[in-house]
């Protein structure tokens, strides 16, 4: 019996570990190069995306708008994954206001797309002003046919959103 338990334990330890594996991260320390290589900018009717300094945090990305008419985002398409993921980032908001009752102006969410149609929007969206705060949300039951696009910015809202230390971790 002892031999069998040892063999099973050795087999389990030899299997690749998928849970808690980081599949994407960006701390923006490469500045504009990071924005060009890993992110796409979406700027409707104005708004801006800039690299800024944030004291001990190093470089961060800040997204701002002066009006509520349009979208200002950075987006990143995640690699195909099966199972569940946790998406987290440090966010700072300055006077983020929304222009709609349907959603908050500050956007930290993902869009899940199947067959070209948006089918889910897991999120940790926000309004108002707050200092650096970790925000997190999970996406469950992913499969390679589901496309996941991460969005950070402002939608029909105005103000300023700064982001740092974006990380996507496979959780199961």
Per-residue pLDDT tens digits for 45-95: 778 888 876 667 788 899 998 887 778 899 999 999 999 999 999 999 999
Residue of 100, 88, 79 lying closest to 154 (CA atoms): 100
What would the pLDDT profile of 15-29 be if each residue is shown by its tens digit?
A: 444 568 999 999 988
pTM: 0.82
The pLDDT of residue 155 is 85
pLDDT at 96: 93
Closest CA to 119 of 127, 108, 110, 128: 110
Which structure tokens are listed for 103?
């959603």
Task: For tokens 């996406």, name the residue.
Answer: 139
Q: How many other C-beta atoms lie within 10 A of the C-beta of residue 125?
A: 19
For 95-153, what is each residue's pLDDT tens digit? Answer: 998 866 677 889 999 999 999 999 989 998 899 999 999 999 999 999 999 999 999 99
SS3 at position 19: coil
């Amino acid at each position: 019996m002892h031999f069998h338990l040892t063999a099973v334990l050795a087999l389990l330890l030899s299997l690749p570990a998928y849970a808690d594996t980081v599949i994407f991260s960006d701390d923006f320390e490469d500045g504009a190069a990071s924005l060009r290589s890993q992110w796409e900018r979406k700027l409707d009717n104005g708004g801006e995306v800039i690299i800024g300094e944030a004291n001990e945090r190093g470089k961060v990305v800040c997204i701002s708008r002066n009006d509520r008419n349009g979208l200002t985002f950075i987006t990143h398409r995640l690699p195909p994954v099966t199972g569940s993921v946790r998406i987290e980032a440090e966010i700072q908001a300055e006077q983020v206001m929304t222009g709609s009752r349907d959603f908050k102006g500050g956007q930290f969410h993902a869009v899940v797309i199947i067959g070209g149609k948006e089918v889910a929007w897991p999120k940790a969206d926000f309004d108002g002003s707050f200092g650096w705060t970790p925000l997190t949300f999970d996406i469950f039951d992913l499969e390679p046919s589901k496309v996941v696009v991460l969005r950070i910015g402002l939608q029909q809202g105005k103000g300023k959103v700064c982001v740092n230390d974006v990380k996507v971790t496979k959780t199961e």
